[in-house]
Structures are given as C-alpha cells and as structure tokens.
Structure 1
C-alpha cells in the first residue's frame, strides 16, 4: 500500500514543478535581455548612470540584462521593432514613434520629479550675454535641435514654433541636429549655434544643471527665452509579447528600485527624482497625436 504522505509529497512536487515551468521557459528563451537607452548624454555618462540598473535587474530577474547605448534615438526604436531590445528607456516621442511604426511595445513605468510631478518642458537656451530676448530675435541665426525623435529637442519645439508661425527651416540660418541634449548645449557654448532646445524638469533639475554638476557647462552662462507647455515624463517600455510573468517581474523590479536599491536609483537621478510610478499607453496618447502632427508638417513641406 502506498502511504498517503508519499502521494501528497509527489503531488506537491508535481505542482511546484508545474508552477516553475513558465519561468524556466522564458529563461531558456531569454538567456539575455537587452536594455536600450537613447544617447541623451555622452556615452560614458550614460554608461555610468544606467549600468547599475542593468546589474540590479540581472539579480532580480535571474537572467543577464545588458545595457545597449544606441548611436541615435532611431536605433532604439528600430531595436524594439525588430525584437532585439526587450526593454527601453527613452523620451515620450520615441515611444510614440515606436508605437506608430508598429513596434509591439507598452510603457510600464514613468519618471517622477522630486516635487511629485510627472511632466517636463522643452526650453530654448541662449547665452546669458547674448542680445536675444525672444525667439523672433533669432531670425537668420543657427539653431541646435537634438534628434528627430527627441520630444523636447525636436517634436515639441517644432510644434511650439508652428504656433508662432515659424518654419524653422526657413526662419533660421541653419538647423543642426546635435545628436544629444548635451551636444546641443555645447553647440551654444562654442558658438556653433545661437540657441538650443533642451529638457527642463523644474528649477531644481534640467539637463543644463546635470551638465553643470559634471563640469561640462555653467548654468549661469545660459538663460531661457521660450518654454513649452508641460510634456508627460519619459517612460520605460518593454515588448508586449514578452511572457506575462517576465513582464510582471520586470515591472515589479523597476517600481521597487528606489526602495530595494536606493544607491542605484540615485545613481540615475542624483537625488533629483522620486520612485518610478506605474503608467500605461493612455498617458502617451497626446504625444502620439503631437508626433503625427509634426509628421504632417514635414510632409506638407516636402
């Protein structure tokens, strides 16, 4: 006669094996996950800021997570469309572009500012010593934008300029894509451009202030002559067709980051941000609409 305890133990072992199967399935399919990051600052700065997060995720998920710093914003978008980048951190317009070209992506976490707000702005910088008081004073001058898929460095600026009846390609002497927010500021500092659009969260945090802390620029050397309406903060997004338990594990690890590993979280935001909050696609519909509008502007000119 088989003892009841033996039968119970066997059933329990079978149940545990069955519950573990999905995790084992995705780990065999994804022995490595790639975390893509747009180059909004120089490569060394991006590596220093985001590598600890991928190490944290590797520990939490039990599978290797590798940081990939793209050459431009489009490379991250295309990497998600091809399925080669499973998780990405980028601006709202990059998420919108990925969605519009058919990448199967969904946002799951949003950046939160130190004051609890979940939005930021596009601002137009000029040198403090320059004579420019508003954007109209820049007619015939050189403008630095960031990247065609940058929210605060291209799409919102073009939307704001359209409201002022300014066609940047006709209004300015030259429009230059600097490649990163840092390069756009450096362009103004070095005189390549007379003005540059950039991201600005609050009085306590902006790309310019980050550059000041790194010794790359002096915030006092620049002033703002134009500020956009608020834009929804940047998302982190993963591929929609990842296994549900893997997505849940990624989401939980990211939302718990500030509590579980405050050192890693503060490495990213330098004490200037609050923990990530959950978000979904609906929050980015206005940015998708704006991206479509900017596309329409471009097509109408061509």
Structure 2
C-alpha cells in the first residue's frame, strides 16, 4: 500500500459556500480507489478528480491506492483515509470491519436511469464455450475476494444455481483484478473469468477494448448475474458532519460543474453514467447478507 499525492496545477476559483471548521483538522483529505484496473491507469483516471476536489474544497487531496481491495477496506477501518470509492461487496466488508463505521453517500446513475450493473462470466469467443455448463472442469478465475461482481455475487449465485465452484470447475484462482482476469482469458491462462458489465457499451470489457488492451470480439459472455446495486462513494462516520456534507455536495455537482472530469472518473469513452444519486445503507444490505452466508459456509 502507498499514498500518492497529486498536486493540481490549476488556479483556485470561487469556492462554494461550505463550512470551514473541519479544515482546521483536515488540511489533507484522502480517498481510496480499488484495484480493478492496473495502477497506472487507475491513478491517471482519478487525477482530474483530485484537481477538482482541491479547487472546490480548498484543501490538499491525496489518492490512496492498494494492491487489493482489502488494503483499501483496512485503510478505512484504521482511519488512514476519509473517503473511498468501494464496490458493493467491499462496502459490505468495510461496514462489517468497522462495526457500521462507514456510510454510503452516492453512486452513479446510467443514461437509462438505472443504478446497477451485473457480474458476467467471460470466455474467449473462439474457445467454443456457450454456457456455464461448458466450463465444467475448466479454470474459472475470480477477481478479488472483496469484489462484488468479481467474486461475491457470481460465486453466491452460481452456488445457488447448483454450480458449486470448487466442485464444478477444475480450478478457481483469484486473478487479482478485473483486467488481469480478462487478460488471462485472452492469453489462455484462464478458461473463464468473472468481471463487471453495465450494458452493451459500458463495463470492464468495453473499457479494456477502448484502452487497446484487448480487441473487440476477443471475449464473449456465457453467464450473467442478477442486478447488483452500483458502487458507493463511502465515508467514515466519525468524520465531521461538515466534511461529509461538503464532499457530498461538490462530488454530486461534478457531473454538471466538471463534465469532462466526471466522464473520465466514470470510465472515459466507454462510460454511460450521467449523474450521481444518493444511496442508503439498506440498499447494500444484501451484500452483507451474502458475506455472512460465506462465513457460515466456511465454518460448516
């Protein structure tokens, strides 16, 4: 794990009417990002957001990036960061780890007004796999233990459908990230990999195509999960109320105030996000229930 501070080379403009009292204790505000894509790309994707927040909040902003999802969860639990973009399962992990010490503030809304996405299992299009049944005895890669679309949701739902992963597949390794899983499929390391998919134009596969990491038509989808609530921007509950409200205010204004920044943070050209909308803890309770199911089954 490491902290990376990015200094925005822009002049400050008129700041919003936000409370000043929290700035005495928080001259630097830190937010975490998950390891769904390679580190260089994920840091570059969030640099414009760092500049935007520094301008609007009037304090220094630092990005926290870890090698896996749990590194960010533990940083929140230890008070090393104030905010973080978390996947639904990572939020459930953070909420459990902190005994309810985190709160979801908002999430992305798509152009069709939806606020969710899917887990999919992808295979090489030329491998001849058409359904999940074709992967019996094959190598199926999950992304990260704290990834909703990369592990929690596909494992839980496949198990519920009668495909107990450790028994049905030949091997079930963790690839380490969504990008690594798909690259492993394309390169023949894995037969299938779980990743996230929003719609026909947005998702991990489409983003990797847009970055020239893979080619259009390299991978095909053979299984799709039920809808998953979209990833929440999350805060520690022990922060000053003014800091939480000010961060929520400037972030939710970003799609209008800084649309190019919003677009890049949302995934670049492959993004179909149009706004941020408020969310509540109750909308993610199902992920906590799933994680509790995992714990119960491991004990048994």
User: Shared fold (TM-score greater than 0.5)?
Assistant: yes
Greater shift, 224-233 or 50-59, is seen at 50-59
| Pairs within 5 Å for 1:178-257 | 178-257=175-254
Which of the residues 28, 31, 37 maps onto 2:33?
Answer: 37
In the alignment, is residue 110 of structure 1 matched against residue 104 of structure 2? no
Structure 2 portions without partners, runs of 5+: 1-16
How many residue pairs are counted as aligned between the two chains?
280
Deviations 1:207-253 (A, max 9, x none): 00000000001231111111000000000001111111111100001
Check whether the contact 1:35–1:54 (CA below 8 A) recurs between aligned residues: no
Instruction: Output the CA distance in 1 between the equivalents of 2:134 and 2:157.
Output: 16
Greater shift, 260-269 or 180-189, is seen at 260-269
Q: CA RMSD in A?
A: 1.6
| TM-score, reference length from structure 1 | 0.89
| TM-score, reference length from structure 2 | 0.90
Check whether the contact 1:109–1:254 (CA below 8 A) recurs between aligned residues: no
Which of the residues 89, 95, 101 maps onto 1:99?
Answer: 95
Partner residue, 1:69: 65
Which of the residues 233, 257, 260 maps onto 1:260?
Answer: 257
Partner residue, 1:56: 52
Structure 1 portions without partners, runs of 5+: 1-18
Partner residue, 1:287: 287
Moved over 6 A (4+): none
Q: CA deviation at 1:273?
A: 0.8
Instruction: Output the CA distance in 2 between the equivalents of 1:299 and 1:93.
Output: 20
Check whether the contact 1:158–1:294 (CA below 8 A) recurs between aligned residues: no
| Pairs within 5 Å for 1:67-146 | 67-102=63-98, 104-146=101-143
Instruction: Output the CA distance in 2 between the equivalents of 1:297 and 1:207.
Output: 30
Q: 1:217 to 1:33 in 2, by over 3 A?
A: same
Instruction: Output the CA distance in 2 between the equivalents of 1:90 and 1:250.
Output: 16
Instruction: Output the CA distance in 1 between the equivalents of 2:47 and 2:31.
Output: 10
In the alignment, is residue 173 of structure 1 matched against residue 170 of structure 2? yes
Q: CA deviation at 1:133?
A: 2.0
